[in-house]
Structure 1
Amino acid sequence: MFNSILTLIRGRAHEAEQAFIDRNAVPLLAQQIRDAALGIQSAGRAVAIAVAQNEQEKSHYSAILSRIADLETRAVAALQKGSDELAREAAEAIAQLEAERDASEKAQTQFTQTIGRLKATVRASETRLQELQRGERLARATQQTQKLSVACDDNSGLASLDEAEETLARLQAYQNRCEVAASVMKEMDAASRQASIIEKLANAGFGAPLGPSADDVLTRLRQRMNSVA
């Protein structure tokens, strides 16, 4: 039972760790890329140092060859003059220089091989780094797009848009009603002023009367009485 609990705890811890990594994958990737870039820079410096050391070894090798050639010339001259002791000393020095020459050749071969491998590694690493940097830019763009999509899909945001559209529609309808009412009021006011002027003119005897007058009514009533009598 205790082992099962420990296994469950480790499982939950692993899930939490993975969830944390997933939530912070983009900044984690960015830091890993920066670390990789620093590693590539260090490897590039190592290549430069190896090249410089190899150039020094080449110069040392050339100097050894020159000393060997000079000693050989002098040793031959000593032999020709019967100075065997000097010739032997020169031969011993030549032997030492030749051993040093052979060691230098091996060192140059190793430098050349190492430099070749380092350069190939750096080139491959730079290519991979460029791919990672492009991938990081794409991941960041995708993350921003996803955030925007989530914001657009948020129901509260959509509800706010709906409410705003309804408010605008009501406002526009109200403004339209106000414009129509104002237009009607202007027309009614103009018609009222015209009717008032016509009424004044008719009452003053200018033009046909607008309706029956009291005199007309009395005349009609008298006519009715006379007809009955």
Structure 2
Amino acid sequence: MFKLISILLRGRAHDAEQAFADRNAVPLLAQQIRDAAQAIQSARRSVAVAIAQNEQEKGQHATILARIADLESRATAALAKGNEALAREAAEAIAFLEAERDASEQAQAQFAVAIDKLKSIVRASEARLQALQRGERLARATEEAQKLDVSVAGPGFATLDDAEETLARLRLRQSQNELTSAALKEMEGAIRPAGIIEKLANAGFGPPLHSSADDVLARLKSRVSPAA
């Protein structure tokens, strides 16, 4: 008997909770839409920050290229005058800058992928937000119409609208979680292989990823004409 009473009380509590949710579905939906709009605005800011950081990286990359070109020109001149010691110092600096150049190019590539992904997510979220906003306006209009003519609309239509809106909100949250998880997994996967490749190259397996000072010096010497 006690078990039956407990089940009955839980059933009534559930019915009361559902009835409360049905009566307040429209204001609840409106607040959730406002929260979603704020989240999308925050995502837009994240995209803007990523774009700004990428532009800064591009500027640093251009500076590195200019320094490499300047050092190569000066080192070549030093070799032409027979000052190999000074040319070697320049070659070491060039090798260091070339490593910085390669790292900058990799960073720009990662920025580009992340920015494209963020833009895609924001666009999709904005489209869904607009659909929800249209749905909210329709729900409010339907609610007002039902208040004016309850005998025509009936309580069943309101319950059906609320159930569909609840399902739509659930799907929106699940899809956002899936997109976030997928983006994190892809970014993690893009980083790990690069680290393994660098370790293998440093250990002497496969071609080196960065040029050494000797490589740069040999390249510069080849530019010096035999007549000089």
* C-alpha distance in 1 between matches for 2:9 and 2:88: 81
Structure exhibiting the larger radius of gyration computed from Cα positions: 1
The answer as to 2:63 corresponding to 1:56 is no
1:15 positional shift: 3.2
- Say what the alpha-carbon RMSD is for the aligned residues: 2.3
1:9 positional shift: 5.1
1:17 positional shift: 2.5
Q: Which residue of 1 aligns with 2:24?
A: 24
CA-to-aligned-CA distance 1:36-84 (integer Å, 9 cap, x gap): 1001101111111111111111111000000011111111111122222
Corresponding pairs, count? 153
Segments of 5+ residues of structure 2 without an aligned counterpart are 154-228
Q: Which amino acid aligns with 2:106?
A: K
Q: Which amino acid aligns with 1:89?
A: E
Alignment of 1:1-229 (within 5 A): 10-150=10-150
- Structure number with greater CO (CA < 8 Å, separation at least 6) is 2
* C-alpha distance in 2 between matches for 1:41 and 1:32: 14
Q: 1:136 to 1:101 in 2, by over 3 A?
A: same
Give secondary structure in 2 for the equivalent of 1:136.
helix
TM-score by length of 2: 0.62
Q: Which amino acid aligns with 1:29?
A: L
Segments of 5+ residues of structure 1 without an aligned counterpart are 154-229
CA-to-aligned-CA distance 1:6-30 (integer Å, 9 cap, x gap): 6655544433322221110000000
Q: Which residue of 2 aligns with 1:209?
A: none
Q: Which residue of 1 aligns with 2:192?
A: none
Q: Which residue of 1 aligns with 2:190?
A: none
Q: Which amino acid aligns with 1:43?
A: A
CA-to-aligned-CA distance 1:172-196 (integer Å, 9 cap, x gap): xxxxxxxxxxxxxxxxxxxxxxxxx
Q: Which moved more, 1:135-144 or 1:82-91?
A: 82-91
Q: Which amino acid aligns with 1:149?
A: D
Q: Which amino acid aligns with 1:133?
A: Q
Q: Which amino acid aligns with 2:39?
A: G
* Residue identity (%): 71
Give secondary structure in 1 for the equivalent of 2:149.
helix
1:138 positional shift: 0.3
Q: 1:140 to 1:92 in 2, by over 3 A?
A: same
Q: 1:152 to 1:118 in 2, by over 3 A?
A: closer
Q: Which amino acid aligns with 1:68?
A: I
* C-alpha distance in 1 between matches for 2:56 and 2:9: 60
1:4 positional shift: 6.9
Q: Which amino acid aligns with 2:55?
A: E
Q: Which moved more, 1:74-83 or 1:109-118?
A: 74-83
TM-score by length of 1: 0.61
* C-alpha distance in 2 between matches for 1:11 and 1:113: 51
